[in-house]
Amino acid sequence: MRTAATLPLLATCALLALAGCDNKDPVPPAPRPDAGTRPDAGTGQDAGTEQDAGTEPDGGAVQGPAVINSTPSEGETNVLPVELFKTEATTTGVRKRVTLIFDTPMDTTAAEVTLIDRTTPTNPPRTLTGTWLEYGLMLLVDIPRPESDLPPLEEETAYTLELSGLRSAEGHPVDTSHAGLGDGRLDFTTGRRDGATEHACAHALLESPVPVTASASPTIYPATDASHEFYALTLPASGASFLGYTEVVSGESRDEPVVLYLNHPVPVTVHDTTEGEDAVASTLEPARPVCLDAISHTLKFTAPGGDRFLRLTFGPTALETFTFVFERY
């Protein structure tokens, strides 16, 4: 009895016989793909072909929050160990502030971090509580004095800020494999204190500034050269900006390094006008962050000895009034 499967074979042979087919064994047709060659349940698109639970990210693969920026930065050296701030009308306090910025909102009920002294491991870790800002994206950690006679951080010391107690708003811990911190901890090393800027900060934070109006004339101008003085300088209008002049008289016997501790990056040029118009080299640069709200930049130049008359040109600038502490060294 012929089965349905033999019918296609006989039909093929009959066609070949018309073209001269002999009695040799017939060539079977190419096999059809069977169920074993079709996409199986693991690769199809229907209910049986969806990826199973083993191929989908599970709870353990969820990436935790990461620190995307910090002050100090990861691995930074020569970090300032002491900062000044105003506590009362006649008092300054000291601290070190650390800022951490995360890539996702954090659980603001969890704000404790741990400060570890890696240079002197025998010093006990310090638990600190930060303050969340910017909708849980920024954490400010103020490091106070550990004792009344000690600075917030020691000089030339390696520290780690442990962040394992923090978590995202969804409850995930800080990512310990992110390129930012790597191990989920902030590591940095302090440098030396900046005593000169600390001294200037005390003037800027606690004293009322002496008001001075700069001159609009490059030939007659007021003096702003008293050591340890805190000035509030007002500049005359000059077109759409402000520009003015003041005077510094150098010491008699020696060249003197001079520093103006400014609260804004105001451009300043210096000229020795004793005999003519000789430019005096000066540099304007960011100040060390001892008291950034009061002092952000420094202007430095050397006043040549011999009672030389120096003219300072402030501006042009968009600022009409700004402050600075004047210091000779």
| pTM assigned to the model | 0.77
Inter-residue contact 186 to 76 (CB < 8 Å): no
Q: What is the pLDDT of residue 147?
A: 94
Q: What is the pLDDT of residue 28?
A: 47
Q: The domain that contains 289 carries what CATH number?
A: 2.60.120
Residue 260 has pLDDT above 90, yes or no: yes
Q: What is the pLDDT of residue 177?
A: 86
Give the CA angle between residues 287, 289, 292 to the nearest 5°: 90
Q: Which of 177, 193, 209 is the last residue of a domain?
A: 193
pLDDT class of 64 with cuts at 50, 70, 90: confident
Report in angstroms the alpha-carbon separations of 87 from 210, 263, 316. Answer: 22, 19, 35
- Rounded CA gap, 182 and 294, in Å? 35
Tens of pLDDT, residues 285-319 = 999 999 999 999 999 999 999 999 999 999 999 99
Domain count, the chain: 2
- Rounded CA gap, 289 and 69, in Å? 17
- Rounded CA gap, 23 and 160, in Å? 90
Q: What is the pLDDT of residue 308?
A: 97
Give 70's strand partners: 100
Same domain, 238 and 220: yes
**How much is the average pLDDT of 241-265?**
97
**How much is the average pLDDT of 231-236?**
98
Q: What percent of the chain has pLDDT over 90?
A: 77
Q: What is the pLDDT of residue 33?
A: 46
Tens of pLDDT, residues 13-61 = 333 333 444 444 444 444 444 444 444 444 444 444 444 444 444 445 5
pLDDT class of 280 with cuts at 50, 70, 90: very high
- Which uninterrupted H or E stretch holds 10? helix 7-18
Report in angstroms the alpha-carbon separations of 172 from 130, 177, 192, 210, 294. Answer: 18, 14, 37, 53, 39
Q: The domain that contains 116 carries what CATH number?
A: 2.60.40.1220
- Which uninterrupted H or E stretch holds 230? strand 229-234
Domain-embedded: residue 50: no
Same domain, 128 and 207: no
| Residue for token pair 């100090």 | 72
Give the CA angle between residues 220, 311, 253 to the nearest 5°: 115
Same domain, 239 and 262: yes
Q: What is the pLDDT of residue 62?
A: 64
Inter-residue contact 323 to 230 (CB < 8 Å): yes
- Rounded CA gap, 128 and 146, in Å? 11
pLDDT class of 6 with cuts at 50, 70, 90: very low
Indicate the SS3 state at residue 57: coil
Which of 263, 183, 257 shows the shortest CA–CA distance to 230?
263
Dihedral angle computed from the Cα positions of residues 10, 15, 17 and 19, in that order, rounded to the nearest 10 degrees: -160
Domain-embedded: residue 116: yes
Q: Which of 152, 171, 193 is the last residue of a domain?
A: 193
> How many other CB atoms are found less than 10 A from the CB of residue 73?
14
Domain-embedded: residue 97: yes
Give 310's strand partners: 248, 272
Inter-residue contact 157 to 119 (CB < 8 Å): yes
- Rounded CA gap, 243 and 217, in Å? 10
Instruction: Look up the domain containing 253 and give its range.
Output: 197-328
| Residue for token pair 């202007």 | 299
Q: What is the pLDDT of residue 61?
A: 57
Tens of pLDDT, residues 152-177 = 999 999 999 999 999 999 999 999 88
Domain-embedded: residue 218: yes
pLDDT class of 178 with cuts at 50, 70, 90: confident
- Which uninterrupted H or E stretch holds 8? helix 7-18
Same domain, 219 and 306: yes
Same domain, 251 and 155: no
pLDDT class of 2 with cuts at 50, 70, 90: very low
Same domain, 119 and 149: yes
Indicate the SS3 state at residue 1: coil
Domain-embedded: residue 81: yes
